[in-house]
Amino acid sequence: MIDQDVIDRSNAVAEAALRADYAALGEHLDRRGIDIDAIKDKVAAYGVAIPSWGVGTGGTRFARFPGNGEPRHVFDKLDDCGVIHRLTGATPSVSLHIPWDDAAPAELNAKAEETGLRFDAMNSNTFQDSGQPLSYKYGSLSHTDPAVRQQAVEHNLYCIELGRKIGSKALTVWVGDGSNFPGQTNMTRQFDRYLGAAQDIYAGLPEDWRLFTEHKMFEPAFYSTVVQDWGTNYLIAKELGARAFCLVDLGHHAPNVNIEMIVARLIRFGKLGGFHFNDSKYGDDDLDTGSIDPYRLFLVFNELVQAEGAPDFDPAHMLDQSHNVTDPIESLMSSAMEVQRAYAQALLVDRAALEGFQKENDALMATTTLKRAFRTDVEPILAMARLEKRAAVDPVGAFRASGYRARVSEERPAAAGGGGGIV
């Protein structure tokens, strides 16, 4: 896979400068009353799950331009995810998508062991046809035909079954159900049908599992969508019960929506299940996390850090991206580090000062308090956390030096490439 020697060699080149930068930042943070090692330890313990479908080149509705050495199946995907974790030390788990990643549990477990990974939430797929008897063209969990709904429910129960055998503890359900024309569907009845089917899935959820429902404003339905926003999603989680939560994919909102405020609301009512991190300029672009609006990512983490330690507060952190012009391994490594960066910056917020400024209605100083944390270059903290784990100080540099992509290209024929991730 990746030789530890390659990592050690590239770290040796970077180590002296890193130690100097870390010491300088440590002094600076000390003057702000912050212990750099405590922040580094928290960052080192942080992990974000890789979406199995992210390691293949995504593509758009128009074309897909496969890269070299695309993973052919879930085992290749797990190899690539193992590389990402080895180099960043920040991605200990993988979120599988079924049926894209369907395989024998024993083989999945063996591969996970070999690559040093765990399995995060399972994702069901009833938004496309993949050989099942009844079509999802007109919907799945909310379909007018009870037989289609039943088929979709059973698929979700199958995902749970498989997930149980590989140590997963959550199911994420996103459906593309909706309508393309006004009048095509009765929106009230359609939602009722969805709720009924979702209840059937919930009834099959093991005691120690959580169900995450994921909303998205539009696409593939372009007039109306059944689970279109966080309000509907909250109603679903509330109707289903205590183990049902809302998943927030950062790209699934209307433009300019205040996502951090949605996060705050879901936290307040105990229904924040987790995240699909990515970035977005127009819609569900699935761009690399932090590539467009890193401040927004920071503001989301500001809410999360504020809620840290609250009883039962344990949102799942996953990436959900699609890569068209970059090497997916490089993009996913960079994104995992962006998420870590936002976390580290949010940990630097002077919360006592912030609260004081909020009480006094000192808007300028309150916002400056956030900006001060956001402006701090925490790179030495992230890099030191990696160095101490013997991951790479410079993951992209070490990846390129390793020759991994060229090596797997020899074994993985170009034509066979495909990683899912079309939406």
Distance CA 278, CA 300 (A): 12
Q: Which of 340, 272, 277 is nearest to 312 (CA)?
A: 272
Distance CA 393, CA 407 (A): 22
Single residue of 22, 46, 136, 174 touching ligand LRH by CB under 6 A: 174
Tell whether residue 136 is a contact of ligand LRH (CB under 6 A). no
123 binds, among Mn ion, ligand LRH, none (CB under 5 to 8 A by kind): ligand LRH
394 binds, among ligand LRH, Mn ion, none (CB under 5 to 8 A by kind): none
Single residue of 97, 276, 317, 323 touching Mn ion by CB under 5 A: 276
Query: Look-up: residue for tokens 């395989």?
Result: 103
Single residue of 284, 327, 330, 394 touching ligand LRH by CB under 6 A: 284
What burial letters (b/e) apply to 181-198, b meaning 16+ CB within 10 Å?
eeeebebeebbebbbebb
Neighbours of 169 (CB within 10 A): 16
Shortest separation between residue 100's beta carbon and ligand LRH, angstroms: 9
Question: Among 10-18, 180-188, 191-199, 270-278, which window interacts with Mn ion (CB under 5 A)?
Answer: 270-278
Query: Look-up: residue for tokens 């690559």?
Result: 115
Tell whether residue 302 is a contact of ligand LRH (CB under 6 A). no
Q: Is residue 250 within 8 Å of 236, Cβ to Cβ?
A: no
274 binds, among ligand LRH, Mn ion, none (CB under 5 to 8 A by kind): none
336 binds, among ligand LRH, Mn ion, none (CB under 5 to 8 A by kind): none
Tell whether residue 423 is a contact of ligand LRH (CB under 6 A). yes
Kindly report whether the peptide bond that precedes residue 311 is cis, defined as omega within 30 degrees of 0.
Answer: no
DSSP at 31: H
DSSP at 279: B
111 binds, among Mn ion, ligand LRH, none (CB under 5 to 8 A by kind): none
Q: CB nearer to ligand LRH: give 71 or 421.
A: 421
Q: How many residues sit in the footprint of Mn ion (CB under 5 A)?
A: 4
Partners of residue 55 on adjacent β-strands = none
Among positions 299-338, residues that touch Mn ion (CB under 5 A) are 320
Q: How many residues sit in the footprint of ligand LRH (CB under 6 A)?
A: 11
Shortest separation between residue 124's beta carbon and Mn ion, angstroms: 12
Shortest separation between residue 183's beta carbon and ligand LRH, angstroms: 25
Contact pattern for ligand LRH over residues 26 through 55, marking x by CB under 6 A: ---------------------------x--
Give the sheet arrangement for strand 118-119, strand by strand. Answer: 50-51, 93-95, 118-119
Tell whether residue 120 is a contact of Mn ion (CB under 5 A). no
Tell whether residue 279 is a contact of Mn ion (CB under 5 A). no
Q: Looking at the chain, how many residues does it have?
A: 423
- Residues 6+ away with beta carbon under 8 Å from 187: 179, 224
Phi/psi for 213 (5° steps) reads -100, 140
Coil, strand or helix at 264? helix
Tell whether residue 214 is a contact of ligand LRH (CB under 6 A). yes
The site for ligand LRH (CB under 6 A) is made up of 53, 123, 174, 214, 216, 249, 276, 284, 320, 421, 423
The site for Mn ion (CB under 5 A) is made up of 249, 276, 284, 320
